[in-house]
């Protein structure tokens, strides 16, 4: 078998993205949380976590802050 191109190995697969979508919202509250802490707590890849954080931010539910932190926005 041929090795996968490097960009495929670095990206999150569908199962990992689904797991990240389930886990991440519960880890973000009204206090800023470092993205590294979210990665550590949900034990998923940085690429999956950042992809889901971007989705949540585009939906207007969280805000990215300086220092690679995120915070939940008030509804």
Percent of the chain at pLDDT exceeding 90 = 80
Is pLDDT at 67 greater than 80 in this prediction? yes
As a whole number, mean pLDDT of residues 33-59 equals 96
State how far the Cα of 38 lies from the Cα of 6, in Å rounded to an integer.
Answer: 25
Q: How many domains does the chain have?
A: 1
Q: Is residue 19 part of a domain?
A: yes
State how far the Cα of 75 lies from the Cα of 65, in Å rounded to an integer.
Answer: 18
The model's pTM: 0.81
Q: Find the domain containing 48 and state its range.
A: 11-72
Structure tokens at 53: 């954080």
Q: Taking the chain, what is the end-to-end CA distance rounded to the nearest angstrom?
A: 50
Q: Is residue 3 part of a domain?
A: no
Q: Is the sign of the CA dihedral 40, 33, 51, 11 positive or negative?
A: negative
Q: Is residue 2 part of a domain?
A: no
Q: Is residue 23 part of a domain?
A: yes
Q: By three-state DSSP, how is residue 62 classified?
A: strand
């Amino acid at each position: 078998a041929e090795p996968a191109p490097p960009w495929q190995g670095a990206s999150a697969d569908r199962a990992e993205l689904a797991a990240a979508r389930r886990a991440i919202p519960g880890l973000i509250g009204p206090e800023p949380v470092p993205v590294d802490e979210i990665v550590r707590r949900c034990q998923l890849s940085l690429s999956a976590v950042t992809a889901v954080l971007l989705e949540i931010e585009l939906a207007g539910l969280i805000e990215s802050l300086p220092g690679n932190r995120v915070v939940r926005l008030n509804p």
